[in-house]
Structure 1
Amino acid sequence: MTTPSNPALRERYLRDAVATASPAKLLVMLYDRLVLDLARGEQALREENRDEATAQLQHAQEIIMELRASLDTSAWEGGPGLAQLYGFLLTELIQANVRREPDRVASCKALVEPLRDAWREAAVVPAPAA
């Protein structure tokens, strides 16, 4: 499915996609955007575009903070470890931005991509019947 080319239609399409998405799909959408922000931030740092890098990396940090805030660490045994990973990612991205280290951003992206892929797989598996 392609998205509309008209900016107003595209905005409505995205708004509707988010409003009608399941919680699992929303999580995948957040991870997708996080990976995109990290890729863009890394590229901007490599091109020495400080303003763009800061914007992308700050947005990535906001996503990570939202993921961490919505994480129920008591729901499964991996919850506390995932919360620690989110904290680590936040620290790394702040340092990468301050020190202008694109390789640090690339390392964060390498940690996030397998998580995104796992959540994407989990989102298509039907939940067991109660």
Structure 2
Amino acid sequence: MTTPSPAMRARYITDSVSTASPVKLLLMLFDRLVLDLNRGEQALLAGDRAEANTHLKHAQDIVTELHVSLNLDVWDGAAGLAALYAFVETELVNANVHGDAAKVKAVLGLMEPLRDTWREAALAVAAAEG
């Protein structure tokens, strides 16, 4: 089996994102966020600040997107989630500036369960609709 070219892989990712439902897109964002946090933490532990910066900046971008796309008028808990996103954004900036792997691990400890909760909610909705 041949490995797809970078162009083919980019096209596949673009097509996957552009055709994803809002729920699937949310789960994709959270999965990538967790991946970036894991990679950022590992890079910091290995002393590779440049690699860590790449992953932590991407994680910051994802959290910012989650934060700005949150509709505060739809759900009573949205304000609390917005506050969590704001906290995580600040922690990621500080972790990146100071090379603090423990902060990244703490953020991961917040975001992994949140990702899992969104996944469970999506499955529950799909089962109810199905």
Do they fold alike, i.e. is TM over 0.5? Answer: yes
Q: What is the match of residue 86 of structure 1?
A: 85
For 2:114, give the aligned amino acid: L
Question: Number of residue pairs matched?
Answer: 126
Following superposition, the deviation at residue 9 of structure 1 comes to 2.1
The superposition leaves residues 61-98 of structure 1 with CA deviations (integer Å, 9 ceiling, x where unpaired) of 11111100000112111100000000100111111111
| 1:1-130 aligned within 5 A | 5-124=4-123, 125-126=125-126
> Equivalents in 2 of 1:127, 1:83: separation in Å?
28
TM-score, normalised to structure 1's length? Answer: 0.90
Segments of 4+ in structure 1 off by > 3 A? Answer: none
Following superposition, the deviation at residue 51 of structure 1 comes to 0.6
Structure 1 gap segments, 5+ residues each: none
Following superposition, the deviation at residue 107 of structure 1 comes to 0.5
Identity, % of aligned positions: 55
Following superposition, the deviation at residue 114 of structure 1 comes to 0.8
For 1:78, give the aligned amino acid: G
Structure 2 gap segments, 5+ residues each: none
TM-score, normalised to structure 2's length? Answer: 0.90
User: Over the residues paired in the alignment, what is the CA RMSD in angstroms?
Assistant: 1.6
| DSSP 3-state at the match of 2:76 | coil
